[in-house]
Structure 1
Amino acid sequence: MTDLASPPRPTTTQPPAHVAAPAPRVTRRALWLAVGATLALVLAAGISVSLGTLRLDPVAAVRAVVSPDDSQVATVVWAIRLPRIVVAMLVGAALAGVGVVMQAVFRNPLADPGVTGVSAGAAVGAVAGITAGLAGSLQWGVPIAAFTGALVVALLLQAVLHTNRGASTYTLILVGVSINAFAGALISILVANAHDDALARGAVFWLAGDLELRTWNHAAIAVIPIALGLGLLLTRTRALDALLLGDDVTSTSGYNVHRTRLALLLIASLVTGAAVAVSGVISFVGLVVPHAVRLVIGAKHAQLLPISIVGGALFLVLADTAARAASVTMVIQTGAVAALIGAPVFLALLLSRRHT
């Protein structure tokens, strides 16, 4: 006999897999990290405008940013310092954001534009454009060439991933090593056969990754593709969560795996090409920043991607500020500072993950 006093058993129904889950809540830790990174970025930019070959009073430099006039301080700040800082923010945000996306797309924590060869592909395209004289004859020539090179490598990686489903994810890293070596050979050939020594020297200096002599024109070239690309990536955080869990989860979540991965790689190539075109090849931003942020807040891309974008901008502004501060006594490029900081930090992160 049924006990009428006992409550009925609740029935649980699972929603269809293709129905989107509710938007994840932002954790308090993620919120504090986002606020702290944003404030640190503003502070770093404020300090950066006063440092360089010509040291400026920090208060006077900040005042020149807020209310520019015809003084020498305002001229230095607006014509030299601010464009370089803006370009550093754009490039750092782009590389960190693309690093997060590639680590999800390839399900490999070591994936980033530099390791996978996407930056090398962009470098081949950009060097080809520089040695062909496109930098002087066509404003968008070098960015278009860099984007084309990045896209070719990204599509090649997609083809490898599609045809080797059972292969280890570290196969991707070996493919990236091969692409980097092949791209290095192509770059050497392009530089050696440049028809003008000035173009060859410009390409070699650009390859080291530096923000010296960046102007508002460089910022204008980079801002549209980077802002548009990162904006599109920020709308696809759920797809990134699904890809990180595997192709089966992605399919049952209502996404076409091939199309989703291809669209993300296309956007990542656009952003990488724009960044590399104005800064050269700068390493470790896409590796160190996402790893550091992921250790603090986890792998939810709705939080990881935007905070990594801000963190990447902060990282490169600090690296460029250190390069300019050291320029009084030595010549050091932004890419070198990023590598000097990023390599040991990344090694420490890897060791800490292994021990934990």
Structure 2
Amino acid sequence: MSGLTGVSRAVAVTRRPGLPYPLTLALCVALLGGAVTAGIAAGSISLPADQVWGILLHRVHPALAEPVWSPVRETIVMNVRLPRVLLCGVIGAGLSVCGMALQALVRNPLADPMLLGVSSGASVGAVSVMVFGLTFLGPFSLPVAAFAGALAALVAVYLLARSGGRMTTVRLVLAGVAMAEVLSAVASFLVVTSDDPHRTQSAVRWMLGGLAGTTWTMVWVPAAAVLAGTAVLLGVSRPLNLLLAGEEAAASLGLDVHRFRASLFVLVAMVIGTVVAVSGSIGFVGLIMPHVVRLLVGADHRRALPATALLGAAFLIMADLVARTLITPEEVPVGIITALVGGPFFLWLMRRRS
């Protein structure tokens, strides 16, 4: 009975008064559409919003829009800005849903791929490939190395944070921050000791997080990983909800907590590793978006995960827009923009939790 009571309590806190869920989801879709439009339209050559959508519709089917624009503008939209905006959306959605999953798995609202050292672990793996020129798996070398680093970091933080079979917020945050700092130092050491200036410069810019030079070939693998990962997380929404009631209550209802947690750690590491391999380390997206979504729709993962993916995609598209237009013609790494937003949010969250 105690397990059922705990689950009932957990389900109760997932319900939030406010807008109906379909309307909230529609607003998230509209926000994402506005972010995509702004991301494609803004730049050194500004494009009207109607022309942006005209070009996109014309590519879908020529009869949908009359081509009244120059070929140069169509090239800018289709080959330069659209792949970058889509990759931003994919990365933002992936980081957000992984952040929400981690917060449920470790039952800690401060959990985040960056704060738990997952992004730093992926960075060590990816930087090792870039600095040493490792190509043991061809084009898959970078994603595989990033995945291995992310998984190793996540498992290490989890083991360090547990004491006597229990895990507290303080131990988790301290273990995550310590692991992130150590792994960031390792990545920096690999960079500064490299004797190839070109690889060093590429690694440094990559570590700051950025999406300059995005091409269509860079979009498909992260998109497939994020879509697959999000679909799996939606499929296990009920076990994720059960964890809100605690490990004992979830186990009493038939959930193998340790096996479930281990399998989802691998899934999260796969998604984060694939994303970090193309974007570099981008922090705080996985911390901010889950909390915003819980305020809007509650903590039920069946409802929260789709909204988190949509808002995360819109947020990173807008952050990237700021990054490339703030000091034109120079471009600020998008990881700096998300840190400037996420840092104060994290401090507010810690103060609110205390």
Whole-angstrom CA distance in 1 between matches of 2:188 and 2:329: 31
User: How much does 1:238 deviate?
Assistant: 1.1
Whether 1:73 and 2:64 are equivalent positions in the alignment is no
User: How much does 1:135 deviate?
Assistant: 7.3
Whole-angstrom CA distance in 1 between matches of 2:23 and 2:347: 26
Letter in 1 for 2:202: G
Aligned to 2:319: 319
User: How much does 1:327 deviate?
Assistant: 4.2
Matches within 5 A, 1:34-53: 34-53=25-44
Aligned to 2:119: 119
Whether 1:64 and 2:25 are equivalent positions in the alignment is no
User: How much does 1:162 deviate?
Assistant: 5.1
Whole-angstrom CA distance in 2 between matches of 1:226 and 1:74: 28
Contact 2:143 2:273 in 1 (8 A): yes
Aligned to 2:339: 339
Aligned to 2:142: 142
Q: Deviations over 1:147-187 (max 9, x none)?
A: 01001112223333555423422201111111112102211
Aligned to 1:10: none
Contact 1:292 1:349 in 2 (8 A): no
Contact 2:16 2:297 in 1 (8 A): no
User: How much does 1:96 deviate?
Assistant: 0.5
Whole-angstrom CA distance in 1 between matches of 2:349 and 2:185: 32
User: How much does 1:79 deviate?
Assistant: 1.0
Whether 1:263 and 2:263 are equivalent positions in the alignment is yes
User: How much does 1:349 deviate?
Assistant: 5.1
Contact 1:140 1:221 in 2 (8 A): no
Aligned to 1:214: 214
- Partner SS, residue 328 of structure 1: coil
Letter in 2 for 1:258: H
- Partner SS, residue 337 of structure 2: helix
Relative distance call for 1:240 and 1:35 in structure 2 (3 A) is same
User: How much does 1:345 deviate?
Assistant: 3.8
Whole-angstrom CA distance in 1 between matches of 2:216 and 2:134: 18
Aligned to 1:101: 101
User: How much does 1:342 deviate?
Assistant: 2.5
Whole-angstrom CA distance in 1 between matches of 2:153 and 2:210: 23
User: How much does 1:231 deviate?
Assistant: 1.1
Letter in 2 for 1:284: F
Whole-angstrom CA distance in 1 between matches of 2:135 and 2:91: 19
- Partner SS, residue 115 of structure 1: coil
User: How much does 1:285 deviate?
Assistant: 0.5
- Greater helix percent: which structure? 2
Whole-angstrom CA distance in 1 between matches of 2:170 and 2:313: 28
Aligned to 1:30: 21
- What is the number of residues matched between the two proteins? 337
Contact 1:291 1:349 in 2 (8 A): no
User: How much does 1:80 deviate?
Assistant: 0.9
Contact 1:26 1:303 in 2 (8 A): no
- Partner SS, residue 116 of structure 1: coil
Whole-angstrom CA distance in 1 between matches of 2:15 and 2:103: 22
Aligned to 2:292: 292
Q: TM-score, normalised by structure 2?
A: 0.88
Whole-angstrom CA distance in 1 between matches of 2:331 and 2:211: 13
Q: Pairwise CA RMSD of aligned residues?
A: 2.6
User: How much does 1:124 deviate?
Assistant: 0.5
The structure number with the bigger radius of gyration is 1
Aligned to 1:254: 254
Whole-angstrom CA distance in 2 between matches of 1:25 and 1:183: 39
Whole-angstrom CA distance in 2 between matches of 1:38 and 1:346: 26
Q: Deviations over 1:123-153 (max 9, x none)?
A: 1011111112247982211111100100111
Q: TM-score, normalised by structure 1?
A: 0.87
Q: Deviations over 1:8-45 (max 9, x none)?
A: xxxxxx8x97xx999x9998533222110111101210
Aligned to 2:128: 128
Letter in 2 for 1:320: D
Relative distance call for 1:353 and 1:159 in structure 2 (3 A) is closer
For structure 2, list consecutive stretches of 5 or more residues without a partner in the other structure. 60-66
Whether 1:328 and 2:333 are equivalent positions in the alignment is no
Matches within 5 A, 1:151-300: 151-161=151-161, 163-300=163-300
Contact 1:230 1:271 in 2 (8 A): no
Letter in 1 for 2:292: A
Whole-angstrom CA distance in 1 between matches of 2:246 and 2:96: 22
User: How much does 1:48 deviate?
Assistant: 1.2
Whole-angstrom CA distance in 1 between matches of 2:228 and 2:253: 26
User: How much does 1:341 deviate?
Assistant: 2.3
Letter in 1 for 2:56: V
User: How much does 1:78 deviate?
Assistant: 1.1
Work out the percentage of aligned pairs sharing the same amino acid.
33
Whole-angstrom CA distance in 2 between matches of 1:136 and 1:331: 33
Whole-angstrom CA distance in 1 between matches of 2:111 and 2:15: 27
Contact 1:242 1:250 in 2 (8 A): yes
Relative distance call for 1:38 and 1:202 in structure 2 (3 A) is same
Whole-angstrom CA distance in 1 between matches of 2:236 and 2:161: 20
Letter in 2 for 1:55: S
Relative distance call for 1:154 and 1:136 in structure 2 (3 A) is closer
Letter in 2 for 1:56: L
Letter in 2 for 1:231: A
Contact 1:92 1:314 in 2 (8 A): yes
Whole-angstrom CA distance in 2 between matches of 1:197 and 1:280: 19
Contact 1:283 1:339 in 2 (8 A): yes
Contact 1:233 1:267 in 2 (8 A): no
